[in-house]
Amino acid sequence: MNKSGYLCLAFMIAVGGMSFFLQPEAALASIGVIALFSFGYFVFYLIRNNLHHGIIKSLLLSVLVMALGVIPVLGWIVIIGFVIYNISKALDGLKSLIPDVLASLVIYGLLGARLAFDIRDPMAIALIAGLYLIASILYCRSLNGLSTEHALFKMSVMWLSIPFAALTIMSIVSALGNLFRTVSSTITRTVLSPQMVSAHMRAGIPVEAYIRNVPMTATSTVTNILPGAGVITAGVTGEVAQNLKKEKA
Q: Which pLDDT score, from 0 to 100, does residue 184 have?
A: 65
Tell me which of 115-119, 130-134, 206-210 is least confident. 206-210
At residue 143, the 3 state secondary structure works out as: coil
CA angle 220, 223, 225 (to 5 degrees): 165
Mean pLDDT of 140-152: 86
pLDDT at 162 over 80: yes
Mean pLDDT of 142-168: 87
* pLDDT greater at residue 248 or residue 244: 244
> pTM of the predicted model, to two decimals?
0.74
The model's confidence at residue 127, banded by pLDDT at 50, 70 and 90, is very high
Mind listing the pLDDT tens digit for each residue in 205-244? Answer: 776 776 777 777 777 676 666 666 667 777 777 777 776 7
Helix 3-21 vs helix 122-141: crossing angle, to nearest 10: 160
Q: Which pLDDT score, from 0 to 100, does residue 226 have?
A: 60
Angstrom distance (rounded) from CA 94 to CA 87: 10
* pLDDT greater at residue 242 or residue 18: 18
- Return the biggest CA–CA distance within the chain: 117
Share of the chain above pLDDT 90, in %: 10
Q: Which helix (H) or strand (E) element contains residue 194?
A: strand 180-197
DSSP string, 15-81: HHHHHHHS-HHHHTHHHHHHHHHHHHHHHHHHHHTTTHHHHHHHHHHHHHHHHHTTSTTHHHHHHHH
* pLDDT greater at residue 2 or residue 3: 3
Quickly list H helices, 142-211: 148-177
pLDDT at 134 over 70: yes
Average pLDDT, the chain: 80
Polymer length of the chain? 249
104: amino acid identity, one letter: S
Q: Which pLDDT score, from 0 to 100, does residue 1 have?
A: 65
Domain ranges within the chain, ordered by starting residue: 3-179+228-248, 181-227
Characterize the bridge pairing of strands 200-202 and 180-197. Answer: unpaired
Q: Which pLDDT score, from 0 to 100, does residue 105 have?
A: 92
Angstrom distance (rounded) from CA 27 to CA 83: 43
